[in-house]
Amino acid sequence: MYVCICKGITDRQIKASIAEGAGCMRDLYKQHDLGSQCGKCVCAAKQLLDSEIQACNRCEVVAA
Ligand code: FES
Q: What is the pLDDT of residues 26-47, one digit of tens each?
A: 999 999 999 999 999 999 999 9
Q: Which domain holds residue 12?
A: 2-63
Mean local confidence (pLDDT), 6-25: 95
CA of 11 to the centre of ligand 1 (A): 13
Write down the pTM of the prediction: 0.84
Q: Which atom of ligand 1 is nearest to the CA of 6?
A: 4
Give residue 17 CA to ligand 1 midpoint distance, Å: 17
Query: Cα–Cα distance between 29 and 24 in angstroms, integer?
Result: 9
C-alpha separations of 16 from 6, 11, 37, 38, 64 in Å:
19, 8, 22, 23, 24
pLDDT of the residue at 54: 87
What average pLDDT does range 12-29 have in this prediction? 94
Task: Give the total number of structural domains in the chain.
Answer: 1
- 64 or 52: whose pLDDT is higher? 52
* Residue 34 alpha carbon to ligand 1 centre in Å: 7
- Single out the residue of 17, 12, 20, 19 nearest to residue 29, CA to CA: 17
**Domain of residue 23, CATH code:** 1.10.10.1100
Predicted local distance difference test score (pLDDT) of residue 61 = 60
